[in-house]
Chain A
C-alpha cells in the first residue's frame, strides 16, 4: 500500500527529478572522494557542502509548496520549522563535543559554562542520543505546527491574516532564541561541532555522506509530498485552496485537512534544517529571521508554485544565483536583484520557471491548446 501511495501517478517529470537527484547523490560524493584534486571531474568539499545546502533549501521549498502551492496557506514563517529542526540537530552535535570544549566540561556545552550554569536544563536531556534527537527533529516543528494550526485553522484565520501570524511566530522565536537565558546559546547559537555518530563532522568522508543523505531525504520528502498531492486528500486540499467554503459544504472538515498538511510540511522543513546544520557548521537565531521565510516564498514562486519539482528547482536556481551574485562586484545589488526577480516572476511568469517552460513546450507540440483557467491569485 505504501509503495502504491508513493509511486502511483508518477509522471515523467517526477521520474526525471528522482533520477537527477539520485544521480547527484551518488556521483557528487564519488567525484569528491575518488577523483584526485587536479582532475576536472573532482568536486571540492566546499562545493559539495554548498550544493548540499541548496538541496536542504530544495526540501524546505517542497515543504512550503505543499502548504502554499497546494493548500493556499501562504506561510511566511516556514523558516521557523527549518530552524527548530536545525536546533534539534545542533543540540545533539553540542552534546557530542563532550569534554573537548574550551572549558572541558564533560556535560555542559561551553556557552552554559560561560553563563555559570551548574547543570543541564531539562530540555537538553536525551539529546546525547541520536535517535532521540532525530525524533525531536520531527516532533518539535511538527508539534508547534499542530498547536499553531489547531488554533488558527479552527478559528478560520485565512489569507493575509494567517500569513502575518506566521511571520509573527518566526519573529517571536527569533527574539526568544536571542536571549541567553533560553539556553540555546543566545546570539551565537550552537557551533564548533566535532562529531556526528562518531565521525568527524569536518572530515571529507562525513561531508560526502551528509551530502548523499540530503539527497536521500530530498527524494523521500518529494515522494511523500507527491503521494499526498496525488491522493484524494490532495484533491481535497486543492479544492480548499480554490473554494474553501464550497469544500466545507461538501462535508469536508477543512480545518483538519489544513492541519494535516501544515504539520507534515513542518516536519519536512525540520528535516531540511537538521541536514543543513552539520553541513553549514552552525545554527543561530538569524535562521528565524522573517526575511529567510520570505526568501523561501520567493524560491517557490520563481520555480513554480503548485509544482513540487518547480519548488525544488526554484530553491536551487535562486540560491545558486545568490552565491554567484554575492561573491562578486555585484554583491551590493543582490537584494535588489532578488526583489526584481520576484516582481518579474509574479507579473510575467505566474507559473514560475517550470510552468512557463512547460507551457512553451506544449504550445510548440500542439498549436491550439485548450485554454486553461487563470491560476488562482496568490493570497
Chain B
C-alpha cells in the first residue's frame, strides 16, 4: 500500500528499535523494538504498567524517548516532530477514555477531524466542499450515527462516543491508527460490533490495537505482541502466545 520512499532505511511503516524512556528513574520502556508493516493490523497486550500507553505517547510525539530509533514510512524520524506534525503525517490516535468534543455536534466532530489543511487562515475562511460533505455523511453511516448528527457529542452514550472517535480517526484518513482499548466499558454486543468496525478499517489502514480483552483480540484474529516491563516478551498468533510459559507467568503472577 505504502511504497517505501526513496532513501528509506526500512520497508516497514513503523519501525521502533532499542527505544528506552524513563520517568524519574522509572524505566517505562526499555529497549523496545517493534515493526509494523504497511496494511498490517497488530494487537498489543500486556499487564498494567507494561508500557503500552507510553509506547503510544512516543509514537505520537507526546513523549520523547531517551534513546532509540522511531521511524515512520521508512525515512521520517518521529522523535524530532511534535504531535501536530505527526498527526499530519498520517498517524491517528484513539485514547483509552473516549475523548470527543462534547460541545460540538457529532457532525462537527467529524468535520474537525476530516483530513484538510490545518492552518489558521484556511480554517478561518473554511467552506466545506460537497465532496468533503459526502465523506462526512459516509463516515456517519459507517459509525451508525447518521440520525444523531445534530446532537451534541456530550449527550452520546459511552459506546457511541467510542464509535464517534473511531469515525474521527477514519475522517483523518491516517496511514497508521493507534487504538487504545476500543472495547473498554462496552457491552458484549457493542464489543462485537467494534471488532467488525476495526476489521473493516484495517482493510486499507495499518492499525495498532492495545487491548486487555482477550475475547476481543480473538475476534480480531491478528498477530499479537505481548509487552512486559517496557519490552517485547513474545510475538505471534494469539494461540501460540497464550501457550507461552513466560506470558502465562506474567499474566497470572509468579
A179 at the A/B interface (Cβ < 8 Å)? no
CA distance A231 to B123 in the complex (A): 7
From A5, A232, A371, B111 is in contact (CB under 8 Å) with A232
From B100, B102, B126, A232 is in contact (CB under 8 Å) with B126
B155 at the A/B interface (Cβ < 8 Å)? yes
B124 at the A/B interface (Cβ < 8 Å)? yes
Given the contacts A250-B87, A373-B103, A228 and B124 also touching, CB distance less than 8 Å: yes
Asked whether A239 lies within 8 Å of B104 as measured between CB atoms, the reply is: yes
B151 at the A/B interface (Cβ < 8 Å)? yes
Chain A contacts for B118, CB-based, 8 A = 250-253
Count class of interface residues, chain B = 20 to 34
Asked whether A238 lies within 8 Å of B120 as measured between CB atoms, the reply is: no
Chain B contacts for A5, CB-based, 8 A = 124-125
- For residues 55 through 80 of chain B, which have their beta carbon under 8 Å from a beta carbon of chain A? 60, 62
CA distance A374 to B154 in the complex (A): 9
Given the contacts A231-B125, A232-B123, A249-B60, A242 and B87 also touching, CB distance less than 8 Å: no
B99 at the A/B interface (Cβ < 8 Å)? yes
- For residues 355 through 379 of chain A, which have their beta carbon under 8 Å from a beta carbon of chain B? 370-374, 376
- Which of A40-48, A88-96, A126-134, A254-262 lies at the binding interface? A254-262
B168 at the A/B interface (Cβ < 8 Å)? yes
- For residues 101 through 139 of chain B, which have their beta carbon under 8 Å from a beta carbon of chain A? 101-104, 108, 111-113, 118-120, 123-126
Chain B contacts for A242, CB-based, 8 A = 101-103
Asked whether A251 lies within 8 Å of B88 as measured between CB atoms, the reply is: yes
Chain B contacts for A100, CB-based, 8 A = none
- For residues 248 through 287 of chain A, which have their beta carbon under 8 Å from a beta carbon of chain B? 248-254, 256-257, 260
CA distance A370 to B172 in the complex (A): 29
CA distance A239 to B155 in the complex (A): 16
CA distance A254 to B83 in the complex (A): 10
B164 to chain A, nearest CB (A): 12
Asked whether B84 lies within 8 Å of A246 as measured between CB atoms, the reply is: no
Chain A contacts for B119, CB-based, 8 A = 256
B95 at the A/B interface (Cβ < 8 Å)? yes
B200 to chain A, nearest CB (A): 21
B222 at the A/B interface (Cβ < 8 Å)? no
- For residues 126 through 182 of chain B, which have their beta carbon under 8 Å from a beta carbon of chain A? 126, 151-152, 154-155, 168, 172
Chain B contacts for A250, CB-based, 8 A = 87, 112-113, 118, 168, 172
B205 at the A/B interface (Cβ < 8 Å)? no
Count class of interface residues, chain A = 20 to 34
B93 at the A/B interface (Cβ < 8 Å)? yes
CA distance A242 to B126 in the complex (A): 21
Asked whether A235 lies within 8 Å of B104 as measured between CB atoms, the reply is: yes
A34 at the A/B interface (Cβ < 8 Å)? no
- Closest residue of chain B to A375 (Cβ to Cβ) is B103
A236 at the A/B interface (Cβ < 8 Å)? yes
- Residues 179-203 of B, flagged 1 when their CB comes within 8 A of A and 0 if not, give 0000000000000000000000000
Chain B contacts for A228, CB-based, 8 A = 124
A330 at the A/B interface (Cβ < 8 Å)? no
- Residues 35-65 of B, flagged 1 when their CB comes within 8 A of A and 0 if not, give 0000000000000000000000000101000
Given the contacts A251-B87, A373-B102, A235 and B124 also touching, CB distance less than 8 Å: no
CA distance A111 to B254 in the complex (A): 83
Asked whether B112 lies within 8 Å of A371 as measured between CB atoms, the reply is: no
From A232, A247, A248, residue with most partner B Cβ within 10 Å? A232
Asked whether A248 lies within 8 Å of B87 as measured between CB atoms, the reply is: yes
Asked whether A235 lies within 8 Å of B88 as measured between CB atoms, the reply is: no
A1 at the A/B interface (Cβ < 8 Å)? yes
Asked whether B155 lies within 8 Å of A249 as measured between CB atoms, the reply is: no
Asked whether B152 lies within 8 Å of A235 as measured between CB atoms, the reply is: no
Asked whether A248 lies within 8 Å of B112 as measured between CB atoms, the reply is: no
Given the contacts A248-B83, A254-B84, A233 and B120 also touching, CB distance less than 8 Å: yes
Asked whether B126 lies within 8 Å of A251 as measured between CB atoms, the reply is: no
A243 at the A/B interface (Cβ < 8 Å)? yes
CA distance A373 to B154 in the complex (A): 5
Asked whether A376 lies within 8 Å of B88 as measured between CB atoms, the reply is: no
Given the contacts A239-B112, A253-B118, A372 and B84 also touching, CB distance less than 8 Å: no
- Residues 192-233 of A, flagged 1 when their CB comes within 8 A of B and 0 if not, give 000000000000000000000000000000000000100111
Chain B contacts for A371, CB-based, 8 A = 155
Chain A contacts for B113, CB-based, 8 A = 250
- Closest residue of chain B to A243 (Cβ to Cβ) is B99
Asked whether A246 lies within 8 Å of B103 as measured between CB atoms, the reply is: no
CA distance A199 to B60 in the complex (A): 61
Given the contacts A232-B123, A233-B126, A250-B113, A372 and B155 also touching, CB distance less than 8 Å: yes
From A236, A245, A246, A374, B123 is in contact (CB under 8 Å) with A236
A304 to chain B, nearest CB (A): 14
Chain B contacts for A257, CB-based, 8 A = 120, 123
Asked whether A249 lies within 8 Å of B111 as measured between CB atoms, the reply is: no
CA distance A129 to B212 in the complex (A): 70
- Closest residue of chain B to A253 (Cβ to Cβ) is B84
Chain B contacts for A254, CB-based, 8 A = 84
Asked whether B87 lies within 8 Å of A249 as measured between CB atoms, the reply is: yes
CA distance A110 to B61 in the complex (A): 58
Chain A contacts for B112, CB-based, 8 A = 232, 235-236, 239, 247, 250
A-B contact list, 16 entries, CB within 8 Å? A231-B126, A233-B120, A238-B101, A239-B112, A242-B103, A243-B101, A246-B99, A249-B92, A249-B93, A250-B168, A253-B84, A254-B84, A256-B120, A257-B123, A370-B151, A371-B155
Interface residues of B (CB under 8 A from A): 60, 62, 83-84, 87-88, 92-93, 95, 99-104, 108, 111-113, 118-120, 123-126, 151-152, 154-155, 168, 172
Beyond A233-B126, A371-B155, 12 extra complex contacts between A and B, CB < 8 Å: A232-B123, A236-B112, A238-B103, A242-B102, A246-B100, A250-B113, A251-B172, A252-B118, A253-B118, A257-B120, A260-B120, A374-B154
